[in-house]
Structure 1
Amino acid sequence: MSTDYLASALKVLEIESQAILQLQQYIDGSFERSCQIIQNCKGKVVVCGMGKSGHIGHKIAATLASTGTPAFFMHPGEANHGDLGMISPQDVLLAISNSGETAELLNLIPVVKRLNVPIISMTNSTTSSLGKHSNEVLCIKVEQEACSLGLAPTASTTATLAMGDALAVALLNASGFTSADFALSHPGGSLGRRLLLTIADIMHTGDELPLVTSDQTVRNALFEISRKGLGMTGITDKEGKLVGIFTDGDLRRILDDRIDIHETPVAEVMTANSKTGRPEMLAVEGLNLMEKYSINSMFAVDHENKPVGALNMHMLLKAGVV
């Protein structure tokens, strides 16, 4: 029996992958003109569809919105009972109907036309009622549904989704939309954290900073490392400027060399000219510095090279930057 399950699943994937590949023939002048209409739009793309087309429409609207093309979904049934007020003359209507004969969509056409709103349709035929009333048609015709009964929308909805993705990405590339722009609309996601957080957002400051002066002993530095819990301490001169860093790794090295921690000034065993960042730097830039120089922690300094913050790899990991 399990073989039948596998065979059915593989057949679905074969049919749906072919349906997507066949869309290539419809990436033509109408697709290009549709992109231009949306790019020239001063308002939003209003995506509309019933049933399964509506579910796909929700996703297309979300993809457009997150990639730099303002868009939202409007349910055609609700639009016929008041929600049509959501659409303005500055908008573009993206109407989705595989048959092109969905009554709820067709009922909207007169009002949309009266508003002089351009209509781009996704349908399987330019000669359908919806296709005839559209400014441009993005054909989503498929040879067969993946459903063995030929009834449930399967390959057709997959093709519609793929056409929506093609439209969104084409518009993204044309507008120069960047990963930083994407992060602004996804502040809660991992990309947003990587691109929007600065070192200042996560660094330890004030009394949390592990610091000793260059004339203090290694013993004093160890106490400071233990108190502040960052696995390091900064070394400053009499003016408060950072001159070096002393870490857990440095401790292991000097113990092997049998150095007297009670008498030796930490300045003699510190790492001078340590790598530093600026508070305004992106946290991901700090991560890149640490990875480039194989270090686990560093200080953020001001324009006078005075330490104002400290961070380590664990803090970057906790903040979701790594």
Structure 2
Amino acid sequence: MPFDSAQAIRLAHDTLDIEAAAVLGLKTRLDVAFARAVELILNMRGRVVVMGMGKSGHIGRKVAATLASTGTPAMFVHPAEASHGDLGMIQPHDAVLAISNSGESEELTAILPLVKRLGAPLLAITGGATSTLARHADVLLNSSVEKEACPLNLAPTASTTAQLALGDALAVALLDARGFRAEDFARSHPGGALGRRLLTRVADVMRSGDAVPCVPASANFSTLMQEMTRKGLGAAAVVDAQRGLLGIFTDGDLRRLIETGRDLRALIASEVMHSQPHTVRDDALAAEAAEVMEQHRITVLLVLNADARLIGAVSSNDLMRAKVI
């Protein structure tokens, strides 16, 4: 049969309409049971153990991952494996979140009495309000949908979207109740862009020690240029005997100085430096350093400690290598 592009687009539109309606339909069924589920999880001492078979299992894995990354300890246990030893992963101080559209998945219903016997509270996300899972549940979250997006009304589509949306709603309500902040999220995502922006400090990426180009105020122009060239930062700090910062001289300053036609050999560092350089504290976020550079259109910042002494330097290239920008 030849491909019908118009039909494909129409079905795509229908799918999005059906799944959007399924998610919006959940709002009318959200009641005190949802609040009870959030409170129960908040008060538990263990983890949320998420379970589900088939497509519901795939949704369960994502829900467990979302909970864990937003401050609620969680793990996924496969119901079939639970019957062969993995049930030992569930403890009385845990909470079990079972996901099943029908509420009658054989592998899941077989272990429900055992879960109840353990004493772990059972939360259910199911479209079967009178199902075996619903009857065993301490808290029932109704995820029923009018129809699947599948034209045959068979493949789990709208139903799994509804399950996922309910899982996300739980995670969001829980993170809010816990006072979960962006910094907390970053700590569980240290390898991500947000984690790097919220966790990386200037001290983590700056050049320090002998890698920092600096000269005394009395250094002649030749010494100043040699220090800039040797350290390859495109700038050099001018400091006093206690490494107190007096100024900075940059490649841009050099170009402007050459244009004046002055005899460079007769100059010393204190005569050519810019006396009010932009600086950053070593304990500041690296992202803050990036913002200062962008705001002032510069590529180098000198780093000071709490005593206002020069201890480092950071460039835009350093921040790029650290993937902060």
**Which TM-score band (shorter chain)?**
over 0.9
1:195 matched to 2:198 = yes
Question: 1:282-297 maps to which residues of 2 (within 5 A)?
Answer: 282-297=285-300
Pick aligned residue for 1:211 from 211, 214, 223: 214
- 1:236-258 CA-to-partner distances (Å, cap 9, x unmatched) read 12333211111111112212222
Q: How does 1:296-315 map to 2 (within 5 A)?
A: 296-315=299-318
Structure 1: give runs of 5+ residues left out of the alignment: none
Q: Which runs of 5+ in 2 are unaligned?
A: none
For residues 88 and 259 of structure 1, the distance between their equivalents in structure 2, rounded to whole angstroms, comes to: 80
Q: Which amino acid aligns with 1:200?
A: A
Residue 277 of structure 1: how far off its partner (Å): 2.0
Pairing of 1:1-322 with structure 2 (within 5 A): 1-322=4-325
Instruction: Give CA-to-partner distance per residue, 1:24-50, whole Å, 9 cap, x none.
Output: 112211111100000001100000000
> What secondary structure does 2:261 align onto?
coil
| Aligned residue identity for 2:168 | D
Q: Compute the displacement of 1:260 (Å).
A: 2.2
TM-score for both structures, normalised by structure 2: 0.95
- Worse-matched range after superposition: 294-303 or 82-91: 294-303
Per the TM alignment, residue 285 of structure 1 is displaced from its structure 2 partner at its CA by: 2.3
Which stretch shifts more, 231-240 or 55-64?
A: 231-240
- Greater Cα shift, 294-303 or 97-106: 294-303
Moved more, 43-52 or 245-254: 245-254
In structure 1, C-alpha distance between the alignment counterparts of 2:7 and 2:199, rounded to whole Å: 49
Distance 2:131 2:307 in 1: 71
8 Å Cα contact 1:297-1:312 kept in structure 2: yes
Answer whether contact 1:217 1:261 (CA < 8 A) is retained. Answer: no
Deviates more, 1:284-293 or 1:231-240: 284-293
**Mean Cα deviation higher: 194-203 or 297-306:** 297-306
Provide the C-alpha distance between the structure 2 equivalents of 1:192 and 1:254, rounded to a whole number of angstroms.
Answer: 42
TM-score, reference length from structure 1: 0.96
1:103 positional shift = 1.4
Identical residues among aligned pairs (%):
49
Using the alignment, how far apart are the partners of 1:281 and 1:266 within structure 2?
29
Q: How many residues were matched structurally?
A: 322
Q: Distance in 1 between matches of 2:21 and 2:76?
A: 28
For 2:170 and 2:279, the matched residues in 1 are separated by: 44
Q: Which amino acid aligns with 2:83?
A: N
- Write the distance in 1 (CA, Å) between the matches of 2:10 and 2:222: 70
How far off its partner does 1:107 sit? 1.2
Higher alpha-carbon deviation: 273-282 or 204-213? 273-282
Name the Cα RMSD after superposition: 1.3
Separation of aligned partners in 2, 1:273 and 1:305: 13
- Report Cα offsets for 1:84-142 as digits up to 9, x if no partner: 00000000000001001111111111111111111110001321111111011111111
Distance 1:303 1:85 in 2: 52
By how many angstroms is 1:228 displaced?
1.0
Q: Which amino acid aligns with 2:240?
A: D
Q: CA deviation at 1:280?
A: 2.2
Shift of 1:290: 2.5
For residues 67 and 303 of structure 1, what CA distance do their matches in structure 2 show?
Answer: 34
Aligned counterparts of 2:252 and 2:61: Cα–Cα separation in 1: 53
Q: Is the 8 A contact 1:121 1:134 kept in 2?
A: yes
Moved more, 247-256 or 43-52: 247-256
